[in-house]
Structure 1
């Protein structure tokens, strides 16, 4: 069975003209899953504006909308969705074919129907998807997956393959409880994957620090796991105004408090708690882990 699967993998790679070897750590994009315990905490808005902040700093970013039921990256951008992931198979397109270009040169793949089906296709179609992702992984510096609220058995495979997770919560007790539950669930499957915390819609810096400290304390006490606090975004009216205009707040209101905050977070990520620290050092490539869990 293993020999047959191996032969099938190489056959699909050859048909697609892809390299037989997986990319190395230095060649491959860093895969980040942005997730939350519950919906309505501003996860997609953060994913979009954080991606744009990295893009503006000269990094090449691919934003992948994996929120099946509430996919809205294209709505936040004010752009019409031309393709969904299902076109990869129904129209024999590549992932590169369905990538759309957003502002500042940001690449994104819109969500929609069919994302869950990717995990339920037969082996040949799943391998086709994996090889498409592998090809993209050497074209970008970062691939950011905007995950749906909560965790499904399908999304778990992708989350566990990522190099790290950014967990979004607000100061509300329900959001904090759900965020911790999501973290605990992932931790029970992989104790090594690093988490970073962002507090959204904070009434004040004091509230954000207090919320982060509570989550860090309970995570350390019950899971013996470090939870790095990346920073917080204020409860800023400019976010709502930007959503109504279907323009990312970082571009529409670049001098607003929330825009400055997301830029501070991206700066901290890149120069402090991001890819250059030992805590988030990649031990396996994203593609290697995805293949191991996915096939």
Structure 2
């Protein structure tokens, strides 16, 4: 029986060697800038294109993606790690065609999770990931050394901020940490809650020049998302705004970013999804 399982597991790993699944991480320098709302709406928009999405809500202590999608969390990875449920029971289906895995962790659980992550759990994660087009990871605000593998193995990183001085400074601090870490993937800035075009140009100028001068790198893309009072209604009704009001400026801005995601490439075409996933969870150095 063991050999049969090993054969199935090996077959699954080989299947993912040529997988075109992309890993997208959504970050922010601080809380309160709309990071999770962005992640959920991007996931919902991509799902509307018939793309298969797995949303991994890894925001330790603040996991709320399922709430924003109108799903009640029944079981989390925290329950799984305590032996209460199977891995598959932690996977939530939503009415938007998005699967969600929520950590349910507090800040001290991450080390336990990473230390306990083994090939068996990895194989279960692969089974859930089978046939998905995009793994979207909602990462906790700010920089955490414990999440270095997440930063290093993403095909694309969206750094969400708002046109407010402290938020921009925090975004730059996170960019600096990622640069020193040696992150090679493209990092795009998403300027959220924009009310004035002038403030967009100011942030672009200041942040772009500072990053170029002190970090010796370019910000590949600046995206802006208009302030929309309907976001509050969306959160309250637990329906992504791209579904609630498809013609809103917010939804059009999200569509532009989702369209750009369709064209992203892996950070290394010879670096398979399964190998990157192993690195993310610390199985392989």
Question: What's the TM-score once normalised by structure 1's chain length?
Answer: 0.84
**Would the aligned equivalents of 2:158 and 2:189 in 1 still touch at CA under 8 Å?**
yes
- State which of 99, 105, 116 in structure 2 corresponds to 1:107: 99
Distance 2:59 2:152 in 1: 16
Distance 1:41 1:286 in 2: 30
Counterpart position of 1:91 = 84
Number of equivalent positions? 279
Counterpart position of 2:205 = 213
Counterpart position of 2:239 = 247
Counterpart position of 2:193 = 201
Distance 1:289 1:64 in 2: 15
Alpha-carbon distance change, 255 to 122 in structure 1, aligned in 2, over 3 angstroms: closer
Name structure 2 gaps, 5 residues minimum: none
Alpha-carbon distance change, 292 to 64 in structure 1, aligned in 2, over 3 angstroms: closer
User: Cα offset for 1:13?
Assistant: 10
Moved more, 243-252 or 110-119: 110-119
- State which of 251, 269, 274 in structure 2 corresponds to 1:287: 274
Name structure 1 gaps, 5 residues minimum: 1-10
Alpha-carbon distance change, 104 to 12 in structure 1, aligned in 2, over 3 angstroms: farther
User: Cα offset for 1:236?
Assistant: 0.7
Distance 1:129 1:13 in 2: 17
Q: Kindly report the root-mean-square deviation, in angstroms, between the aligned alpha carbons of the 2 structures.
A: 2.7
User: Cα offset for 1:208?
Assistant: 2.2
State the secondary structure of the residue aligned to 2:19.
coil
Distance 1:289 1:13 in 2: 25
TM-superposition CA deviations, 1:233-269 (whole Å, max 9, x none): 1111011111122221111111111111111111133
Counterpart position of 2:180 = 188
User: Cα offset for 1:290?
Assistant: 4.3
